[in-house]
Structure 1
Amino acid sequence: MNVHATPRAQSYEISIEPLEGKVEVYRNDVLLAATTRAKVMYETRLAPTVYIPREDLLVPLGEPSELQTFCPFKGTASYRDLFIGDERIANAVWSYDTPLPESAGIRGYVGFMPQAHTRIELGDNTLQEAAGGHVSGPLVDWLLRGAASFRTAEEFTRALAEKMLDHGIAVSRLSVLAWSLHPLIAGKHYIWEKGKAEISTYAPTYEIHDHPAFTNSPLRHVSNGLGGVRQRLADGPTETEFPIMQELRAQGATDYVAMPMPFSDGRINVLTLSCDHPDGFTTANLGLIFECSAVIGRFYEVFMQRENAQSLLETYVGKRSGARVLGGEIRRGDGDEIDAAIMFCDLRGSTRLEEELGRGPYIGTLNRFFETVSEIVHAHDGEVLKFIGDAVLAVFPAGVDAQSAHRQAMASATEIVTALGQPSEGALALECSIGLAYGRVTYGNVGSKERLDFTVIGQAANIAARLGDYGKAVGHRIVVSEDIESACSNCLPLGEVALHNVSHPVTCYAVEVDRAKLPAKQPEC
């Protein structure tokens, strides 16, 4: 029988050692640097890196570029271009101008990017091979095997913090700020705190970018690509620390790190960690997290992609339709036959409004019209399917209760007319024409191979649009079909009406709305 010992992960370490004698750096035949004070940094699982004192460079450097990278135990690296005659090598060298204590030995030194040099002459020095083997342990094993089973970012965040504790990392607070593509929400901020059962989740609006709590925080610093933040809170306050450091220190935190967590599209999100161990985070702690951060970031990217897909679908095709598309109804022709009340609501006087207001103010007025209609429709369990020019198409599915759909559609129509006629102070009163019809429609995906639309198709949708046009022509704000009339307490019979592209006359009714609440009638355009 063979017995295999369980491999143990070597802890993450860095060490800085001097190199003896003269060390030279070349690019082809051009000598870039020559020094007798070179140092080498050994870092677990990475190739050794030679550092040269900046004053021993023999070629000029440019000012710091926009590129910055962060290491939680070395600090934020700045990059500079290197010039050889007329040749410019972009981001050729990096340096840690304010290194963290673990890397204080390379203050004032630069490292060369691989594309900047062709060889380094080490003299009698021999560099050690990279040590450490493969990264492993409870956290890594969980990321590879168990993490994929979590369905929400909240569940994943809690489990991530607990696995860090299992690995011996004394984390007392963990947060992730992930940016989104939601039209109203800037992103999601997940916060785990030791001793609390629930994850705190915040969904800040885009006003966060101007809020002092964000503008003067590590979250903004990291999100803007300025590198990471590391501060040992047990050492006491510093002149340049962020306000949150004082709050965390008061809660017993001894160490803090905020590091970039990029998504595949380049967006920079933020992972922050606080520690309550008297000695703070160790290099091994931060090295492990740093090595795992790309994988951790991919999990959050998946969570955010799903949320983004859901929010974008809800924004562009509606909540019910978005859920159906996200649920798999994505092929052309997918859909159901449903009974529903259909609303077609058209803004009156649109051409005149654009001419009088100008394009910018008119767009603002049009958005107010759409927002008013949408909010009222949603409040009555309807769904806005689409905006068509200056009109709104909405559906009120009946399910097993046709009368309820009639009432919801009727209530929405009367509230819309009243709300548009009673704007807030300083806003323009608006008029609309609404057609309501009821019937069986196809609710699903239609379109071309390259462009699909989730909508309703059927005679009821056509009749609703034509009734709105008819009402506009005869001066009635709301006109409904005979099916809807039962939900109306103040309907005026209009008789049978011949509608464009409808094969048979339609019996319809005008809905009387309190005239005292409505604006004066404007000429049609």
Structure 2
Amino acid sequence: MTNRYRIYTEPLIGRVTASRNGRMLASSDLAVVMYETRLAPTIYFPQKDIVAPMSDLTNLQTFCPFKGTASYRDLELPDEHLANAVWSYQAALPESRAIQGHYAFRPDVVTDMDLGENTLCDNNSDHISGPVVDWLLREAAYIKTPEEFTAALSLKLREHGVHLSRLSVMLWSLHPLIAGKNYIWEKGVKEVSVYAPSYEIHDHPNYLNSPLRHVSSGLGGIRHRLCTDVPGNSFPIIEDLRAKGATDYVAMPMLFSDGRRNVLTLTSDHPDGFNTANLGLVFECSAVISRFYEVFMQKENAQSLLETYVGKRTGARVLGGEIRRGDGDEIDAAIMFCDLHDSTRLAETLDRAAYIALLNQFFETTSTIIHDHGGEVLKFIGDAVLAVFPAGDDAKMACSQALKAARAIVEHSADREDPDPAHQYECSIGIAFGRVTYGNVGSRERLDFTVIGQAANLAARLNDYAKRKGHGIVVTRDVAGAREDMEELGPLKLHNMSEMVQGYVARVPEVA
């Protein structure tokens, strides 16, 4: 049978002996050989016929969807220690029941295998082809989203004859808020379901007692024939699937190139479940399938990391190709510089953890308010926040939104309740409007996406002035406009500014 993955065992005739450098390791009249697509034939010996001293089980386990989970032992020879030199399947799957309780040696351990009158077959001529492989080679690369890829993969597997009713992929991510993405395709459901669990998933009972945790933790894959297994002798999710008519379930690791262990699960509702050819196809293609998902996740990780470190709008520009020094645009924008008061005192009076927690709370609140008013945080500078409110065609709106955000920030800091007076804080804000360069500056090796221009410098100087004079918000004439809730300060002489600047204090309603 060609063009299909296959696995089968045959008993060997007479005595077969495995040796290492003249030392006998095993000798048996009941040895069997396993043939598996793409793998060299493997000789398995009954446990009673292993004569070399073996250690207790080691921590290493590997998973095969046809054979089950393999456990490993060391060989303790008089003159050498061979780590994980021998493996066995103590609970082999039905397709491989003939090797249950038998042991095989790592290929490099055996220097001489005396097969007696046996001749092994050449088992490396088989290959996999058909709709799935053809699709992976020709069409899959043009799919743009992991949702579309998951749906197309599932349908291609069914087209190839895999009796698939559900496919799930759990991909771990690099994101400050979410642990990963879980994509689930189900037969008869139009859309692929997508879940983005937070890091609390690692402590959730449903995850702790799940195949996802088992496989992700390196404990091997899982195969349950639900039409024969005893209910209650598996994970809750598997019993839920059994109740819905599932007959077979497989969970296998899907490795990324950086070593992250993701999880691919397959469920069947066919009366006979999956056959060897079904799982062999997936097993053969799993490395390629994994690379497609890795590309999707790398793109998502790049976007999430850029949004985390430089902001959503700026991150999109960098991903859009603005990556060289000098790339950027001149834009009109309201620039906000917000600074925490008495940070030196806070750092001295609070322990490190409490001070970091207070800073994080300040940044979280400030960032949320800025984003809610159409602005973007460009960076945190020590205990200060630099934000931009692009004007587009509406300069008045940009100034108005920046002012509203500033008032909300100051009101929140004043209204904030904390039982410990040492945790109270205030902030000052400077806002200026003008044309700035919004783009990359820095060295050839290290760039910073920021705003450069008179308005950015002026916002920082207004903030310094506000802090010294005890004002909450100080703005320029352009930002103040004709609003009545402004207190004119007159011309201000600001540090390193050659000309006087007309300043205004934005009044903030008293907190009750």
Retained in 2: the 8 A contact 1:436–1:484?
yes
Retained in 1: the 8 A contact 2:56–2:74?
yes
The reply to whether residue 504 of structure 1 matches residue 499 of structure 2 is yes
TM-score of the pair, normalised by structure 2? 0.97
Counterpart-to-counterpart distance in 2, 1:382 and 1:71: 52
Match of 1:71 among 64, 80, 84: 64
Counterpart-to-counterpart distance in 1, 2:57 and 2:135: 39
Retained in 2: the 8 A contact 1:410–1:488?
no
Residue 3 of structure 2 aligns with an amino acid whose one-letter code is Q
Please say which of residues 54-63 and 151-160 is displaced more in the overlay.
54-63
| Matching residue of 2:175 | 182
Residue 149 of structure 2 aligns with an amino acid whose one-letter code is F
Counterpart-to-counterpart distance in 1, 2:414 and 2:56: 61
Map 1:162-311 to 2 at 5 A. 162-311=155-304
Counterpart-to-counterpart distance in 1, 2:183 and 2:294: 13
Counterpart-to-counterpart distance in 2, 1:168 and 1:411: 61
Counterpart-to-counterpart distance in 1, 2:170 and 2:205: 17
Q: How many residues align?
A: 510
| Matching residue of 1:27 | 20
| Matching residue of 2:141 | 148
Please say which of residues 241-250 and 131-140 is displaced more in the overlay.
131-140
Q: Which runs of 5+ in 2 are unaligned?
A: none
Please say which of residues 53-62 and 202-211 is displaced more in the overlay.
53-62
SS at match of 1:516: coil
Q: Which runs of 5+ in 1 are unaligned?
A: 1-7, 518-525
The reply to whether residue 315 of structure 1 matches residue 346 of structure 2 is no
SS at match of 1:234: coil
Match of 2:5 among 12, 16, 34: 12
| Matching residue of 2:370 | 377
Counterpart-to-counterpart distance in 2, 1:30 and 1:236: 42
Residue 495 of structure 1 aligns with an amino acid whose one-letter code is G
How far off its partner does 1:344 sit? 0.4
Counterpart-to-counterpart distance in 2, 1:501 and 1:35: 90
Counterpart-to-counterpart distance in 2, 1:464 and 1:131: 71
Counterpart-to-counterpart distance in 2, 1:168 and 1:487: 73
Retained in 1: the 8 A contact 2:173–2:179?
yes
Counterpart-to-counterpart distance in 1, 2:459 and 2:418: 32
SS at match of 2:177: coil
The reply to whether residue 455 of structure 1 matches residue 450 of structure 2 is yes
How far off its partner does 1:426 sit? 4.2
SS at match of 2:511: helix
The reply to whether residue 101 of structure 1 matches residue 104 of structure 2 is no
Counterpart-to-counterpart distance in 1, 2:290 and 2:419: 47
Overall identity of the aligned pairs, in %: 64
Deviations 1:430-486 (A, max 9, x none): 200100001111101111122111110111111100100001111111110111011
Please say which of residues 83-92 and 331-340 is displaced more in the overlay.
83-92
SS at match of 1:455: strand
| Matching residue of 1:410 | 403
| Matching residue of 2:435 | 440
Residue 369 of structure 2 aligns with an amino acid whose one-letter code is I
Deviations 1:121-174 (A, max 9, x none): 111111000155321011111111111111000000000010011001110111
How far off its partner does 1:54 sit? 2.3
How far off its partner does 1:119 sit? 2.2
Match of 1:122 among 115, 119, 129: 115
The reply to whether residue 161 of structure 1 matches residue 134 of structure 2 is no
Retained in 1: the 8 A contact 2:5–2:128?
no
Counterpart-to-counterpart distance in 1, 2:454 and 2:83: 64
RMSD between superposed Cα atoms in Å: 1.4
Retained in 2: the 8 A contact 1:410–1:487?
no
| Matching residue of 1:42 | 35
Counterpart-to-counterpart distance in 2, 1:95 and 1:62: 13
How far off its partner does 1:240 sit? 2.4
Retained in 2: the 8 A contact 1:422–1:429?
no
